[in-house]
């Protein structure tokens, strides 16, 4: 499901004695994320992330390398310190980009005029809680479900929440999201963690495991629960969201939770 409110543009920059190489990268025309360098140039260069608000507020820079050097000397080998500094910088760059998930509103609610709609991060968080509290199921790795729920929409930090109303074909949407995911994993740098995020996302996208099927059900359950809450709080009629998920649940747990939500909605009427 969005366009973010109070949009924040993330600019990844690196300065040296040479002139800055510009590498525009825009996956979705309504977003402003443009890495100024191919991400491979950022490895080991003490990259910094500069956040600039649309209102022109003062820019703040966070450089892990600069922060580390300000702490003074250390008895650790120089190569070890450099590696640790680079890893810290990459992690903070990645987390700063993930900030967009907190500011990007779910588009379906925005389009239907819901006041103060949830963000992509809100949606992902409650899905992960669903995975956390779900009953143990034969053959299902619950911890993997929690991780999958956390990362399943992570590419929206770059491409935004693309909905059918945007007119983007399904294959093109998938291509944009996969390209965004690749860039985010490259930015993270930690090969084991990046590989895990990539594998979890692809498993969900391809619906290729019991865990993926359950998390996809959580995705729908979270949406209709949120729809019910908006109907109750704001007097909205969001029947289309319930219709869009009807008959599409793949697991008994998903069906049971959806049935409970539908029952509560009928009682409300």
**Looking at the domain that runs over 107-268, which CATH code has it been given?**
1.10.3210.10
Determine contact, residues 195/108, Cβ cutoff 8 Å.
no
What one-character-per-residue DSSP string does 213-253 give? HHHHHHHHHHHHHHHHHHHHHH----HHHHHHHTT---SHH
Residue-level pLDDT, tens digit, the chain, 269 residues: 644 333 333 333 333 333 322 333 334 433 434 343 344 433 443 333 333 333 333 333 333 333 334 434 445 566 666 777 888 999 999 999 999 999 999 999 999 999 999 999 999 999 999 999 999 999 999 999 999 999 999 999 999 999 888 999 999 999 999 999 999 999 998 889 999 999 999 999 999 999 999 999 999 999 999 999 999 999 999 999 999 999 999 999 999 999 999 999 999 87
**Domain ranges across the chain:** 8-101, 107-268
In DSSP terms, 12 is beta-bridged to 49
Is the pTM above the cut of 0.75? no
Residue whose pair of structure tokens reads 């991780």 in the numeric block: 147
**Three-class DSSP labels, 119-166:** EHHHHHHHHHHHHHHCCCCCCCCHHHHHHHHHHCCCCHHHHCCCCHHH
């Amino acid at each position: 499901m969005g366009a973010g409110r109070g949009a924040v543009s993330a600019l990844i920059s690196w300065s040296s004695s040479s002139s800055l190489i510009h590498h525009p990268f825009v996956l979705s025309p309504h977003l402003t994320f443009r890495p100024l360098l191919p991400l491979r140039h950022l490895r080991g260069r003490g990259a910094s992330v500069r956040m600039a608000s649309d209102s022109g507020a003062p820019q703040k820079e966070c450089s892990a390398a600069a922060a580390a050097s300000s702490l003074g000397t250390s008895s650790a080998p120089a190569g070890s310190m450099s590696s640790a500094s680079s890893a810290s910088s990459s992690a903070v760059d990645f987390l700063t980009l993930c900030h967009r998930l907190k500011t990007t509103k779910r588009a379906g609610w925005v389009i239907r005029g819901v006041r103060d709609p949830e963000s992509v991060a809100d949606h992902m968080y409650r899905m992960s809680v669903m995975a956390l509290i779900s009953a143990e199921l034969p053959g299902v790795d619950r911890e993997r479900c929690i991780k999958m729920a956390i990362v399943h929409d992570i590419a929206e930090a770059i491409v935004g929440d693309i909905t059918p109303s945007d007119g983007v074909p399904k294959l093109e949407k998938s291509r944009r999201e996969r390209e965004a995911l690749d860039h985010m994993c490259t930015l993270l740098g930690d090969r084991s963690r990046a590989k895990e995020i990539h594998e979890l996302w692809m498993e969900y996208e391809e619906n290729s495991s019991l865990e993926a099927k359950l998390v996809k059900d959580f995705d729908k359950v979270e949406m209709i629960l949120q729809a019910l809450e908006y109907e109750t709080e704001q007097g909205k009629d969001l029947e289309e969201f319930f219709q869009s998920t009807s008959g599409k649940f793949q697991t008994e747990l998903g069906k049971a939770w959806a049935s409970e939500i539908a029952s509560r909605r009928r009682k409300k009427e």
